[in-house]
Each structure stands twice: as structure tokens, then as C-alpha cells.
Structure 1
Amino acid sequence: MQLIKAACACLLAAFVAGCTMGDDVTRNATVQLPLADVSDQYLPTYTVKDVRISVPLNLSVSEANSIKPRADIVWRGDLGFDRHEQLRVLFEEAAAEGAELMQGDVDVVVDLTVTKFHGMTQHSRYAYKGDYDIHYTYVVRDAVTDAVIEGPTEIEVSLVSTPEAAIYMDASGYTERQYVKDYLVPLLSSTLTH
């Protein structure tokens, strides 16, 4: 048995050595270039003068209280049924607070479009661990010329929730809306931070 193992090891070593013979091997080759001086690369910082939020009306909405309804928008954090407008206001408030954290070199306006906001239904929020599936795109424009500086850029994030957390939040008066907003504020700010 030892002889067989030794023979196999020798064959494997010969095979590997054969694969690496020759002067023309370029796998894992590196190109030797001078490193760029970081000081030569200027990344502008932004002062956000305005954030324009859009939640297109063609995004489908579900009010079904199932585990995971098929729709672009599932939102229960506000009373009423104008979910497009509720999300527009939610993102607008969060973006305004996030923008206050940003004081940079270039005055900009941000166009942000919500492309999907799949939150949790009442049933799923209290019965299952799940997440808020949030998708949006943004474009950064010069506040003076309206020229595009950055984007369009697509962002997809998930905010996890558990039944235990939902029950605790409700008991302490911390609303679902506030929970999502508190997540969006630093998210929207960090989106524009280089």
C-alpha cells in the first residue's frame, strides 16, 4: 500500500512539473507598472443641495397579507393606500437627513428613482425572519449646470427583520416606518460618499 501511495505521489509530481515546464507560461504573470500616486487621483466630495425622489406609478403594488406577494411595492409602514407617495415621502425625508451629513467641494443635485421596495406584510413580519428588499437608481448632477457627474448607478440592499424584533419595536413605540427610515438615512448618505 505504501508503495502504491509513493508511486501515485511521484506521478502527480511529474505531472505538475510537466505542466510548468517551458518559458512561455503566462498564467499568474504580473505586469510591472509604476504605481499611481494617490494624490494625483482627485475624487470630489459633494454638498447635496437637493434630492429629487421618484417612485414611478408603473411599479405594481400589493396589499395581500401573504408571505411574499408578487409586486414591486409591498409596504405597510404607513396608513392608507397611496404606497407610491408614501415611499416617495419616506425616501425624501431620509435623503434630506442624509444630505445634511454631507458637506463637500461640489454642489450637486441627486435624482433618485425607487425601482423596487418589497417590504414585509403583517403576516410575514410577525411570523418569519425576512427582509425589506430595496432597489433604487441614482444620478448625481452638478447643481449649477445640471450636467451628470456620476451615474446612473443601481443599488440593491436588504434590511433584515425578525418577529422578535418587530414585537419589541411595537412594544417600545418604535414604528416600522422609523425602523426603515433609520436604515435609509446613512445608506443614502454613504451612497454618495467616495
Structure 2
Amino acid sequence: MFQRFLSVLALLGAFAACAPAGTVQGDPRQDIARDYRLAGVNFSALADLTISEENSIYPQADIVWHGDAPGDRIAQIAAMFQEAAARNIVATRAGDRPVALDITLVRFHGVTRRAEFSTGGVHHIVFDLTVRDADIGTVIEPKRRVVANLEAWGGNINAQLDAQGATQKVRVTDFLTSVLADQLR
């Protein structure tokens, strides 16, 4: 009975945690007033990143992403960053200063299907961010490293969240949206 209670409690916690929750670290941000209006994002990835399609618990690679069908993983990750940025363009319409973000992917280590359906894990996302004036291109905030970690549910909780539409891709895109929003504040 107690084990069933713990299972229900864990499930309720998971549903409450459907909103993106994670940690963001990295280089310190400048202490400046930000009244930004996001105008766009320029996404790139380091040229020497390794990509793994291995379905083990923790593949050794810079890019591990199984939240989309097999394909160009960097393009799939770029699409999530672009979606997150588009959401922030809408959210920052009232800002006075138009800015563009230069994002360079350093690492994107999601969880594999095997981990997703068993142990869970952490989506570990690392990128460099530069904030530029969107009109003239000058650097407003120099490059800084952003390290963002989002818990990935595993097992039955993950299966139930997936069934409700809270897929890996949805959760990571929502998380990237909040990470970018925090960087613009």
C-alpha cells in the first residue's frame, strides 16, 4: 500500500513538473539594464561535434538526440532553438532595443529511447550566446557560455507524459524557451 502511495505521489509530482524545470549555469551575465526586443537568432554548431545514434543509457558523444525521427540532428536541434526564439520574439515585443542572438551549439546530450523508457536522465545543453544590436550588428553582450540541464523522466512516468503530449521534444523546446527568456531579462 505504501509503495502504491509513493507511486501516485511520484506521478503527481511528474504532472506538476510538466512545465520546464531545470538548472541554468555558465558564465556570469553582465549587470546591465535589458529592455530587449528579440528580432532574430543566428544558430550554428561547432564543426567538430560528434553525433551518436546509439541507443544505450549514456552514449559518448557531443550530440545525442532521439526526440525526433532519425535525420540531421543538428538541423533538428536548430529547429528547437528557432522555435524557442520565435516564442520569445512574441514575448519581447514591448522592448525598446532590437537584438539578435548568436547561438553556437557546444553540446546537446539528450536522452536515448532506452534511457527514456527506463532510468530517465538529464538533457544537458551547452551553447555560447552573444547578444548583438539587430540593426547595426555591434556586440551588446559578448559571448558567454550557457549550461542548461533539464531532468528527463524515465519509465512509467515518461510513458504517461508522452501519452499526454508532453514528449521529449515538447519539454526540451519549452525549456529552451525559458532559458532564452532568462537570458533576455
Q: TM-score interval w.r.t. the shorter chain? A: 0.7 to 0.9
Gaps of at least 5 residues in structure 1 are 1-40
Larger-Rg structure: 1
How far apart, CA to CA, are the structure 1 residues paired with 2:183 and 2:49?
23
Maintained 8 Å contact 1:56/1:84: no
Tell me what 1:184 maps to. Answer: 176
DSSP-derived class of the 1:127 partner: coil
Gaps of at least 5 residues in structure 2 are 1-30
Matched positions, count: 153
Moved over 3 A (4+): none
- If the length of structure 2 is used for normalisation, what is the TM-score? 0.77
The AA in structure 1 aligned to 2:54 is A
Q: CA RMSD in A?
A: 1.6
Q: Which has the higher contact order (CA 8 A, sep 6+)?
A: 2
- If the length of structure 1 is used for normalisation, what is the TM-score? 0.74
Structure with a larger share of its residues in strand: 2
Tell whether 2:143 aligns with 1:152. yes
The Cα of 1:55 is off from its aligned counterpart by 2.5
Deviations 1:1-58 (A, max 9, x none): xxxxxxxxxxxxxxxxxxxxxxxxxxxxxxxxxxxxxxxx961311111111112342
How far apart, CA to CA, are the structure 1 residues paired with 2:169 and 2:65?
9
Which residues of 2 match residues 79-90 of structure 1 at below 5 A? 79-90=69-80
Maintained 8 Å contact 1:129/1:161: yes
DSSP-derived class of the 1:44 partner: coil
Instruction: Give aligned-pair identity as a percent.
Output: 35
Closer/same/farther in 2, CA of residues 147 and 171 from structure 1, 3 Å limit:
same
How far apart, CA to CA, are the structure 1 residues paired with 2:176 and 2:120?
20
How far apart, CA to CA, are the structure 1 residues paired with 2:39 and 2:136?
13
